[in-house]
């Protein structure tokens, strides 16, 4: 099966699991009834492009905020300068992001992951995404700004799905994110569960927390709290001197085995793992293969973990970026890795990526 078919199968799996999550939930069933045909429509658009020789990825990552209200240890967004204390004057406006969403929708993108900094600091952009209900917007948030107004907005517009960052239990989460963060995040989860809304948890897996986050106790607890989406991301040491937090090859294998077992047990929970799942679909999905990343000022990067932009969506249409030699060369570089042994491919090939950027 080629990458296009594999990604379509992945998208179908996500929607099927969503169906199981929302079984017996009238509001969720109504959301799926209106959204599933639109997701299929996006898939058909991508099919048509694929047949004409143009590969459109189903996912896009949009980092809409260059500020954050937290200072987590080893934050990749702060390390690569995408997130600062003063923000960036050059940040895209809500209108410019709306144009990005419009183009993504017309190309057949189905999932736009909103990240930051802290995306909930950009209410204007969040509201600009609301009309694009033919796409699903998982919103990666630290959860501290997820107040009653936001909960009402997401309750009304189920294609906007909050994904709360958590590092394990109270000890692990507060150690990386700050005192009291775990309690605040779990109290938000309680409110989301009361409203019977789908929400997710985003877990950065390090050599310190791996045992905690793959334990039955932790996953069972999140399930009890109503969490229907789990995203595991292996720690990438963009911050100097944090290499010890990276998973060893044995730990990567342990995580992958645990994720496979969890998928078998929690069949109404969407469970994704990066880069782990990429190994099953032929490796690195960056540079438009499965997605690409737009930073807060519009720079089009292969991936948040390879933050090098040659083009900006303010000047260059996304279609042109997807067809660029820059992305083609980066895809070829990632594919040149003989085996996907775990960890981030483009991070390992950082020097070659910079050389392609400068060429
Ligand atoms: S919440 Fe996210 S963006 Fe903000 S400091 Fe923590 S890891 Fe970085
Ligand atoms: S650059 Fe790294 S994290 Fe990003 S898609 Fe490739 S392997 Fe995965």
- Could you give all domains of the chain from N- to C-terminal order, each with its CATH number? 3-358 (3.20.20.70)
In the chain, the percentage of residues whose pLDDT exceeds 70 is: 98
Among the atoms of ligand 1, which is closest to the Cα of residue 71?
5
Provide the terminal-to-terminal Cα distance of the chain, rounded to the nearest Å.
33
73 lines ligand 1 (CB under 6 A): no
At residue 342, the pLDDT reads 62
Q: Span 255-268, mean pLDDT?
A: 93
Q: Is the separation of the CB atoms in 64 and 97 below 8 Å?
A: yes
Closest CA to ligand 2's atom 2: 344
136 lines ligand 1 (CB under 6 A): no
Helix axes 148-156, 181-194, angle to 10 degrees: 40
For residue 254, the number of C-alpha atoms closer than 13 Å in the C-beta half-sphere is 15
At residue 92, the pLDDT reads 97
At residue 276, the pLDDT reads 81
At residue 337, the pLDDT reads 75
Distance, in Å, from the CA atom of 348 to the CA atom of 359, rounded to the nearest integer, reads: 19
Q: Is the separation of the CB atoms in 92 and 296 below 8 Å?
A: yes
At residue 36, the pLDDT reads 95
pLDDT of 340 > 60? The answer is no
Closest CA to ligand 2's atom 6: 284
Candidate of 62, 65, 117 to mutate for ligand 1, largest count of ligand atoms within 8 Å of Cβ? 117
- Place 333 in a pLDDT band, splitting at 50, 70 and 90: very high
At residue 335, the pLDDT reads 87
At residue 101, the pLDDT reads 98
116 lines ligand 1 (CB under 6 A): yes
pLDDT of 283 > 90? The answer is no
User: By three-state DSSP, how is residue 169 classified?
Assistant: coil
303 lines ligand 2 (CB under 6 A): yes
At residue 7, the pLDDT reads 92
Among the atoms of ligand 2, which is closest to the Cα of residue 334?
6
Alpha helices in the chain (DSSP H): 3-21, 26-51, 76-79, 94-107, 123-129, 148-156, 170-177, 181-194, 210-213, 216-224, 249-265, 276-280, 318-322, 325-335, 345-348, 350-358
pLDDT of 339 > 70? The answer is no
At residue 197, the pLDDT reads 96
At residue 242, the pLDDT reads 87
204 by Cβ neighbours in 10 Å (0-12 / 13-18 / 19+) ranks as buried
Q: Span 273-287, mean pLDDT?
A: 86
At residue 127, the pLDDT reads 98
Closest CA to ligand 1's atom 7: 75
Highest mean pLDDT out of 75-84, 128-137, 246-255:
128-137
For residue 320, the number of C-alpha atoms closer than 13 Å in the C-beta half-sphere is 8
Q: Span 53-73, mean pLDDT?
A: 95
pLDDT of 28 > 90? The answer is yes
Q: 163-178: per-residue pLDDT in tens?
A: 999 999 999 999 999 9
pLDDT of 138 > 80? The answer is yes
Name, in order, each residue with C-beta under 8 angstroms of 219's C-beta and a sequence gap of 6 or more: 230, 262, 266
How remote is the CA of residue 317 from the centroid of ligand 1, in Å?
29
Closest by CA to 100, choosing from 328, 296, 333, is 296
252 lines ligand 2 (CB under 6 A): no
Looking at every residue in the chain, the average pLDDT score rounds to 93
At residue 338, the pLDDT reads 63
Among the atoms of ligand 1, which is closest to the Cα of residue 78?
8
How remote is the CA of residue 332 from the centroid of ligand 1, in Å?
31
pLDDT of 251 > 90? The answer is yes
How remote is the CA of residue 110 from the centroid of ligand 1, in Å?
25
Q: Is the separation of the CB atoms in 251 and 207 below 8 Å?
A: yes
Q: 176-232: per-residue pLDDT in tens?
A: 999 999 999 999 999 999 999 999 999 999 999 999 999 989 999 999 999 999 999
Higher pLDDT, 239 or 22: 22
Q: Span 316-321, mean pLDDT?
A: 98
Among the atoms of ligand 1, which is closest to the Cα of residue 142?
1
Higher pLDDT, 290 or 82: 290
């Amino acid at each position: 099966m080629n990458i296009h078919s594999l990604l379509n199968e992945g998208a179908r799996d996500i929607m099927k699991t969503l169906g199981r999550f929302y079984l017996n939930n009238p509001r969720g069933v109504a959301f799926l009834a209106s959204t599933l045909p639109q997701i299929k429509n996006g898939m058909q658009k991508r099919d048509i492009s694929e047949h004409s020789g143009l590969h459109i990825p189903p996912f896009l990552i949009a980092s809409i905020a260059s500020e954050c209200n937290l200072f987590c240890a080893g934050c990749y967004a702060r390390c690569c300068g995408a997130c600062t204390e003063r923000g960036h004057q050059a940040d895209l406006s809500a209108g410019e992001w709306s144009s990005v969403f419009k183009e993504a929708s017309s190309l057949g993108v189905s999932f736009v992951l909103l990240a930051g900094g802290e995306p909930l600091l950009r209410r204007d952009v969040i509201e600009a995404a609301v009309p694009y209900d033919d796409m699903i917007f998982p919103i990666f948030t630290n959860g501290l700004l997820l107040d009653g107004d936001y909960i009402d907005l997401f309750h009304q517009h189920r294609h906007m799905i909050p994904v709360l960052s958590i590092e394990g239990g109270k000890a692990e989460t507060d150690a990386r994110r700050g005192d009291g963060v775990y309690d605040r995040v779990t109290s938000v989860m309680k409110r989301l569960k009361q409203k019977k809304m789908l929400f997710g948890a985003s877990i950065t897996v390090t050599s310190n927390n791996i045992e905690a986050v793959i334990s039955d106790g932790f996953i069972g607890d999140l399930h009890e709290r109503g969490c229907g989406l789990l995203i595991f991301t292996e720690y990438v040491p963009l911050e100097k001197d944090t290499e010890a937090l990276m998973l060893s090859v044995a730990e990567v294998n342990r995580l992958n085995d645990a994720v496979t077992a969890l998928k078998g047990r929690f069949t109404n929970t969407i469970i994704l793992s990066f880069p782990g799942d990429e190994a099953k679909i032929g490796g690195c999905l960056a540079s438009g293969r499965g997605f690409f990343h737009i930073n807060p000022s519009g720079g089009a990067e292969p991936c948040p973990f390879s933050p090098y932009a040659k083009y900006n969506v303010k000047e260059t249409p996304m279609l042109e970026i997807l067809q660029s030699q820059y992305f083609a060369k980066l895809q070829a570089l990632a594919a040149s890795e003989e085996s996907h042994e775990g960890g981030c491919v483009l991070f390992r090939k950082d020097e070659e990526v910079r050389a392609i950027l400068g060429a």
